[in-house]
Amino acid sequence: MEGSGAAAFRTSAQAYDRHVGRYTDELAAALAEVAGVEPGQRALDVGCGPGALTRALAAIVGAENVAAVDPSPPYADACRARVPNADVRVGAAEALPFDDQAFDVVLSQLVLNFMTDAPAGVGEMRRVARTGATVGACVWDYAGGMTLLRRFWDAALRVDPANASSHDEGQVMRFCTPPELEALWVDTGLSHVASGELQTSARYADFDTLWEPLATGVAPSGAYAVALGARKRAALREQLHALLGAPTGPFTLEARAWYVLGRA
């Protein structure tokens, strides 16, 4: 079971690493910190992708105390290779292949909006968390502070105004503000619900480095870029370059995510 965006994560893990994956190690460390992950806990990473959060959790609690799950076989393989002693399984959030109350902390990074049924997925996260355990997630601030994706969709809206708004993640993602995240957590029956922001950044050698992974079709942005005809894709590239300030050498982009935490 997976959401419509999930197919865009069947590409190679390397393409993901060169795209959004540039930000995910720093984001994972920040999420683990606000969630209060500490040695002695047993942790689960839901929608692990190539394993940024799995690795951050393993660094704190030890890989043998970490489980991870993702519906994309190549991403699960990449995660397994990165964190060999973690229990990495192929599966979806909506039907987690773990026992009730098995974990002290259950986290999910950048996944909620790709679930087919996010309330069911968060319900499963709650089920596998022991009573009192932390259940948390983070999502990009697609509408504002995630500079790479915001500028990408702003450029798309200019070159493809008729179609881009139905793909713009700032418009189509259902859970991308703190009130939406908090409501999802409260509706799932989690207590002590709180939200906040996580700030990350990525350094690019040049604009080509940023553009190149998009051509692999990775993530909704890459899938959209690939589906455009060659002429519009070239216009999109030019527009994105301009919106990023027409960098001619190395540059850094900031990225904000929102997190939500609660207790099972």
Ligand X SMILES: C[S@@+](CC[C@H](N)C(=O)[O-])C[C@H]1O[C@@H](n2cnc3c(N)ncnc32)[C@H](O)[C@@H]1O
Q: Return the range that interacts with ligand X (CB under 6 A); candidates 45-53, 161-169, 193-201, 233-241.
A: 45-53
C-alpha neighbours within 13 Å on the C-beta side of residue 30:
21
Task: Please state the closest distance from residue 251 (CB atom) to ligand X, in A.
Answer: 22
Which residue, 80 or 241, is less far from ligand X as judged by CB?
A: 80
Q: Report if residue 31 touches ligand X, rule: CB under 6 A.
A: no
For ligand X, the binding residues in 5-24 under the rule CB under 6 A are: 6, 9, 20-21, 24
Task: Please state the closest distance from residue 111 (CB atom) to ligand X, in A.
Answer: 4
Region of 255 (left: φ > 0; alpha: ψ -120 to 50; beta: rest) is: beta
Which residue, 10 or 263, is less far from ligand X as judged by CB?
A: 10
Number of residues binding to ligand X, judged by CB under 6 A: 28
Provide the residue type at 21 as one letter.
G
Which residue, 89 or 263, is less far from ligand X as judged by CB?
A: 89
CA–CA separation, 144 vs 54, rounded Å?
A: 27
Among 32, 43, 53, 240, indicate the residue that binds ligand X (CB under 6 A). 53
Q: Report if residue 160 touches ligand X, rule: CB under 6 A.
A: no
Task: Please state the closest distance from residue 223 (CB atom) to ligand X, in A.
Answer: 12
Among 32, 61, 115, 159, indicate the residue that binds ligand X (CB under 6 A). 115
The CA angle 135-137-141, to the nearest 5 degrees, is 155
Task: Please state the closest distance from residue 233 (CB atom) to ligand X, in A.
Answer: 22
Looking at the chain, list the stretches that DSSP marks H as alpha helix, in order from N- to C-terminal side. 13-18, 21-34, 52-61, 73-82, 118-128, 147-159, 161-164, 169-172, 178-187, 207-211, 219-227, 230-243
CA–CA separation, 86 vs 185, rounded Å?
A: 27
Q: Return the range that interacts with ligand X (CB under 6 A); candidates 36-44, 99-107, 115-123, 179-187.
A: 115-123
Q: Report if residue 116 touches ligand X, rule: CB under 6 A.
A: yes
For ligand X, the binding residues in 62-101 under the rule CB under 6 A are: 70-72, 75, 92-94
Q: List, as own/partner pairs, every contact residues 159-162 make where C-beta atoms lie below 8 angstroms and the sequence separation is at least 24, other chains included.
A: 159/232, 159/235, 159/236, 159/239, 160/228, 160/232, 160/236
Which residue, 142 or 207, is less far from ligand X as judged by CB?
A: 142
Residues in the chain: 264
Contacts of 156 (CB under 8 A, 6+ apart): 164, 167, 168, 224, 236
Task: Please state the closest distance from residue 166 (CB atom) to ligand X, in A.
Answer: 20
Residue that is written with structure tokens 């179609």 in the block:
163
Binding site for ligand X (CB under 6 A): 1-3, 6, 9, 20-21, 24, 46-49, 52-53, 70-72, 75, 92-94, 109-111, 114-116, 121
